[in-house]
Structure 1
Amino acid sequence: MTGDLLGAISAWLRAALTQNLGLKALSLAFALGLFVYQKGQQDQQQRTVPVGVVMRLPTENAKRELMTPIPASIHVTLKGSTRAIDQLLQAGVAPVEIDLRDGQRGSVVFETRMFTLPPDIEITIIDPPSIDLEWQDVVTRQIPLQASITGKPADGYILKGEPEVDPKEMTVRGPVGLVEVIQYVRLAAFDVSGLTEGTYRRPIAIDAPPNRVSYIGPRSATVTATIARRVSEARFPKRSIEVVGVPNAVVTPRQVDVSVIGPPEVVRALRAEQVVPRIDLTKIEGIDLKTHGSISVKVVVEVAEAEAEVQPPTVTVKW
């Protein structure tokens, strides 16, 4: 009984191993392939890495400026085996190159063919997938130079008029949208602290241009500032004219208006009786005061440390 059972088992095993060998070999190969595939799938991974961006821009002669800021790198998600991705990162991912030399492209679309990768690595995501581009023409304009003043002159003195700049204009080059809004090319401030009466000339540095804009020419300009005494003005209306040299002379008009201009402390202390318009006929050559006559003559007002203006400046004297 036991011998028959062993014989049956042996016969079954012999049949199982020898019958349908082709089908069994195919099944074994399929099983091995499935195992290898599953093992490979378990080793696959995705990794996001930065990839540099290299731009080839138009030459200066093209007179085109790219206004859109382009990132130094974009992010690319890679899919492949851990070993392949590690080897790629160790060797370094080649940057993607963008040819913008024509200065006309409206956008850049990143495609997988633009990247240099091993065949066993694929790209699944590119971020950003595209970039819109803005261009402007590059123009050249002449822009006025503008000086500024800092500090205060010495007591009793003021800046007379506006500072003068030489040269008066600067050549400015850049994108049309930036150049057209520049009203002045500014200079560093001219310091007048403690200055007294006189004319002062200094080379003053020109401020740095805005981003994307360049200045063509010298990096400094000569600024001239004039310092004068601080003055005040006082009016003394209807002051009677005093005639020297002929008694009972007739003056037309007999009164004039006088404006005195000078240091504030001098003008403030001046009284009306000190402002005397005079005509000295004895100092006029070519007239005979012993006979009747008439003459148009300038009225003089003498004020110490100040100047006087008379209206009208001349009158007629008869004697």
Structure 2
Amino acid sequence: LAYFVHGEGNRSVVSLIVPVEIQNLPSKKILLLPQSPQAQISLRGPSHILSEVARTPYSFKIRIPEEAGNRYETRLQAASLSIPPSVEVTRIDPPQITFVFDNLIEKQLQVEVPRIGSLKKDYRLSEIIAEPATVTARGPQTELDSLTTVNTEQVDLRAITSSQILDLQLELTGKFVEFSPKTVTVNVNVRALTRERRYSGLPVVVLGKDLTEKWEPVPKTVELELSGPRPLVQALDAEEIQVSVEVPTDFVSKVSEDAGYLEKARLPVRVQLPPKVEVVQVNPKEVKLRRESSATTAAQKNTAAQKNAAAQKSK
């Protein structure tokens, strides 16, 4: 940044902002103050030369003595700028500069995951695990000496209803501290409270390929006891549960060959449920089958017998 003031004749005055560079900062030191060292200089000289000087990137070059410790004050010397002899440095502001250093250290910090709120009543938090569990912090000794942990971004538990994997930034603990890595993976393991529930009168559906006859189960309904996450089980309607038996492909031929097979055969009851919901008990576990036409005939005979009995009583 340059400011020109034209004077008499062919001479001018210019002001420049010049950075201050430390050439030999030890690898085990870190500069705390000033964070962006610079100074304003005023120059007087021929206008055409000052125009060229204003476009040249000058800087004060500072070398720190080994015995300087963590504080070093030095004067800014115009001679270190290598400005053309025809140009006069009339002012340096500030004329001197004080550097504040600290020891640069590395330290392992434990990662902690802060939380907001709590889970809904039907859920419990099993654990929160950060990977990696520790990170490397690099920075001034004065900032790191008192630190043993570092926080991630907060995890809001109020909206969580299942286990999640989150990539979270580490929370900055000072102006000069850097972390490696800068983010961690956080596993939030959540489990739903379980509940058992009983259903009765669930109809059994008969399934099978290429059925030439219609069959009905005996009994036609079953009782069922389920277990699973409380929110799922509480919201599960009986209509959403499918109970069925599968008729084997050779079932009809076996019935034809063996007159007693139909009475002896038992088919396992199958239950189709939403994920995470399990069957505790089904009663009965197996059912028999009978031809639907036979059932209809039996019903008709029973109805006829009842009518006949009623007619006899009325006589």
Larger of the two Rg values belongs to structure: 1
